[in-house]
Amino acid sequence: MTDSKQYEPAMRRAMELSLLGPTFGGNPQVGAVILDKDLNVIAEGFHKGAGTNHAEVDALSKLSVVPEGAVAVVTLEPCNHTGRTGPCAVALIEAGIKTVIYGASDPGDASAGGARTLADAGVSVTGGLLADEIEEQQKVWLTAMRKQRPFITLKWAQTLDGRSAATDKTSKWISGSESRNHVHKLRSEIDAILVGTNTVIQDNPELTARKPDGSLYEHQPLRVVMGITELASDLRVFNSDAKTVQYKTHDIKEVLDSLWALDVRHLLVEGGAKVMSSFIAADLFDEILIYQAPLLVGGSNVAVEEIGISTMADAKQLDFTEVTQLGKDIFIRAIPRKAN
């Protein structure tokens, strides 16, 4: 077994490179560094999106000759399947790489097994370097692959007393401009955004990702509407700024299965309260984002409705992982608490 600690600087560089790749599109963010036998960096690469060279192949393409004793350091276990591109494990073998260090194991049903393929070909393979940090950095894709459904982020804005709208149903604007810009940036980094038909009818949202100056981000998430209510074709969610699909069902798992088949790996659920509550009640969420505004409105328009909890002992346990001030608002990120 190779002593991998000496490769930590290269792995940290590979982690930096991985973040240059897109966060959407069904593929993981992966970075790779090729070292010579003296641990000098001789090539770098990262995955630039679906259909492009994977990180290892991208790095190898920078070399006219792979020197004897070269080492590949990769954030994710080299893939073992042929999709739109060939298997990275085979590419490394054919390039003459004799040592491979990787961080997180590939949980994909089809893509996993690269480490075994490399080892069977006589390559020295060591996994797990900085794995915990890489797991956190790439939690969206890794979680999605393990659960075989999109990573689900629930997001809502609320007043200090937990209301998502005033008594007359007005909800524009609860949060401030800093929070809204934060949401739009998030939208530009995900695969799809989901709302219910009631939200579409009441708010007529556009559900696009816009920059602070009002222009569209280059990437627009797929707009997903869930519910059986018929919707007018002139609603803003059906405009030409992004693609939209409506699922005329209340079955969340049916929708998730369909989105998974469309390569949706990160789904942002924005409401309304009935849809949000349905996801929470079914334990179908991986994180919750709350934009808490310093307002009080009272009334019955709560951000989350009935979720099947009748006693405090049964409350869904969460952990705060981030609490930040955005302008006058408070931004809270929470995740389900893991069972002991």
The β-bridge relationship of strands 71-76 and 41-46 is unpaired
Q: Is 305 annotated as catalytic? A: no
Q: Is 112 exposed, middle or buried (0-12, 13-18, 19+ CB in 10 A)?
A: middle
What separation, in Å, do the N-terminal and C-terminal C-alpha atoms of the chain show? 32
Contact 116, 90 (CB under 8 A): no
Among the listed residues 56, 77, 270, 287, the single catalytic one is: 56
Q: Give the residue ranges of DSSP H helices in 233-314.
A: 252-261, 273-281
List the 31-35 sheet strands across, edge first.
41-46, 31-35, 71-76, 99-104, 124-126
What region, left, alpha or beta, does residue 22 occupy, with left being phi > 0 and alpha being psi -120 to 50 degrees? Answer: beta
| Residue partners of 314: CB distance under 8 A and separation at least 6 | none
Residue of 183, 284, 268 whose CA lies nearest to 221: 268
Q: Which amino acids are annotated catalytic? A: 56
